[in-house]
Chain A
Amino acid sequence: MENLVQAALATVNYAAIMPSLILTGFGMLLLLIGVFSKPGRTSHIAWISIVGLIVAAVASAQAWSALGATGVEFGFTNHVAQDGFALFFNFIFLVSAALTILMSDDYLKREGYAVGEYYALILFTTAGAMWMASGTDMMTIFLGLEVLSISLYVLAGFFRRDARSNEAGLKYFLLGAFSTGFLLYGMALLYGVVGTTNIANLGMYLAAHKALVTSPMTIAGMLLLLTGFLFKIAIVPFHMWTPDVYEGAPTPITAFMSAGPKAAAIAALLRFLLLGFDSMQAEWTALFWVLAVLTMTVGNLLAISQTNIKRMLAYSSVSHAGYAMVGIVAANAIGMSGVLYYMLAYAFMNIGAFAVLALAGKQGEENLTLEGFAGFGYKRPFLGVAMCVFLFSLMGLPPTAGFAGKFYVFAGAVEAGYIWLAVIGVLNSALSLYYYLRVMVSMYFREPTEDFAWVSMPMGAMICIILAIAGVLYLGVLPQQVMEMAKTAMF
């Protein structure tokens, strides 16, 4: 018995999970601090959570610089691998969590839900996302996914006296748990085929036993597993929950969900596709070709008819996931690292846009429509300009992050020979101009009906918007350095 314990302890490697360990530690600390704080006073909790994110970022940066020397840091009998891939995604999660927390404090006070648990839950979500990105075993990925999802269910339904938030939380919960069932059944079938839960071993086994690739159990397992992930990424036809949940959830949480957790699901999906289903690449590229086209087109077409800006951005986030899928179909160095780059760029631009929305809303957020935004750009020049920068980036116009991201993803598709896919992607970007420009038209070319006197400029949200603008412009003007990082991050 003692030997077993010793054998188990020998594989414990805290260095491999250091960033997520820091976040969980800080999360629990925040829960304690929340108990001893006066009700309604949460600013200090927000700033401590920012400190936690910075410490985790420093730990990730150190691990990144040590990558050249030690290579991959495995831990817990190969259940966790802290490689460049996981660390790059760590930065995406940390950026989205930090921007979200910065805009949250005053928003929560305005809506009357200044509670400390909110920040702890965001840290837990981020830690779960990190486990998903660094998991090399079905168990770790499942646990990461559930830590992330369960925290997000609570966050989506966080405004518990608001029926819309309740509805968003409950819908997300029921559909999320439903999709987890599919994911798990897929994992069980694959486990039955190969007799292991390790993704790399799964890939090696399938490559060694070609006959298994066409067996119905493998195919059913793969499809069920993909269903679970595609639901989390909100790929058409599993996107139905997105607009409802994104509209009903608190605005900062909507921003966070569309960037961080989505990137986490893409990370786990990429690891499965590249390591586990390597020998079935022809099959899944064909599948994702169709899904990418469907996702881009349906997302954009549905976004066009929206008048609620929050809901419009929800549909646009569906189509952006479609652009990322284009890179996955390409499945070459530039396309795959383009996906990583795109998710980082998307975190900056989308959270920035939501930060402006969070400031522009009245209590209850009834005014976040195209009519409600009339003349916003004149009444609030700085926020108007910031919104324009984010919208230009979402459209994919140079010199913004969105342009560089789309450029890499589509370049990957062209290089891999998927010219038509790239053409459809570019046409979809053109289509998306329409509904993004409508927001700008409303902001600048309509007579203001309101004076927007309620819009305050709290420090946290200002830092968030300025950081997001800086990120969007940096990634757009000087993409090479980060792109090199993304390239070294791919395995």
Chain B
Amino acid sequence: MITVHHYLVLSAILFSLGTFGVLTRKNAIVIFMCIELMLNAVNLSFISLSHYLGNMDGQIFVLFIMAVAAAEAAVGLALMIAFFRNRESISVDDFNLLKW
């Protein structure tokens, strides 16, 4: 029997994987993919909790999150392209102009 706990644990694992990826990866696109993984882990939590509680708010929230994530991806990839044009790299190791 799969209960809401299983989904929540899965979501927590996915979220942690995403966080770990953001902190360890060097390529900006991979980092962004890890962030998307985190957002989708949140979506999974919302949907399973919404089903468990019998309350629709969570599912509506997920729709908003997906829409926002799409808008964010558009802006983020555009920023990466602009960065790539100037620096010919999107590695975070090359984020080195602004430092103290």
Contact = CB atoms under 8 A, between A and B. Distances in A.
A29 interface: no
A248 B75 contact: no
Interface stretch (A150-158, A259-267, A439-447, A475-483): A150-158
B97 A167 contact: yes
A115 to B, nearest CB: 14
B76 to A, nearest CB: 5
Contacts of A244: 98-99
B35 A177 contact: yes
Nearest to A138: B61
B86 A191 contact: no
A311 interface: yes
Contacts of B100: 243, 302, 305-306, 311
A191 B32 contact: no
Given A171-B95, A191-B57, A139 B28 contact: no
B16 to A, nearest CB: 10
B97 A164 contact: yes
B95 A189 contact: no
A188 B83 contact: no
Interface in B49-76: 49, 52-53, 55, 57-58, 60-61, 64-65, 68, 71-72, 75-76
Contact of B39 (A153, A166, A184, A189): A184
Q: Which applies to chain B's interface (DSSP): helix, strand, loop or mixed?
A: helix
Interface string A206-250: 000000000000000000000000000000000000011101100
Contacts, number: 131
Nearest to B46: A188
A169 B64 contact: no
Nearest to A183: B42
Interface stretch (A63-71, A192-200, A346-354, A448-456): A192-200
A448 to B, nearest CB: 27
Contacts of A45: none
A197 B61 contact: yes
A64 B49 CA distance: 39
B93 to A, nearest CB: 12
A185 B15 contact: yes
Contact of B53 (A142, A157, A168, A195): A195
Interface residues of A, number: 45
Interface residues of B, number: 45
A191 B49 contact: yes
A181 B42 contact: yes
B39 A173 contact: no
A427 interface: no
B80 interface: yes
A171 B92 CA distance: 9
B64 A142 contact: yes
B57 A196 contact: yes
A168 B49 CA distance: 37
Contacts of B6: none
Contact of A177 (B32, B57, B78): B32
Contacts of B78: 154
Nearest to A249: B98
A267 B92 CA distance: 32
A154 B80 CA distance: 11
Contacts of B64: 139, 142-143
Given A167-B95, A196-B55, A244-B98, A185 B45 contact: yes
18 contacts: A138-B61, A142-B64, A146-B72, A154-B78, A163-B86, A166-B86, A167-B95, A169-B83, A170-B79, A171-B95, A171-B98, A174-B28, A174-B76, A180-B39, A180-B72, A184-B65, A188-B11, A243-B100
7 interchain residue pairs of minimum CB distance: A181-B38, A244-B98, A188-B45, A192-B49, A166-B83, A163-B86, A184-B42
Interface of B: 8, 11, 15, 18-19, 22, 28, 31-32, 35, 38-39, 41-42, 45-46, 49, 52-53, 55, 57-58, 60-61, 64-65, 68, 71-72, 75-76, 78-80, 82-83, 85-87, 92, 95, 97-100
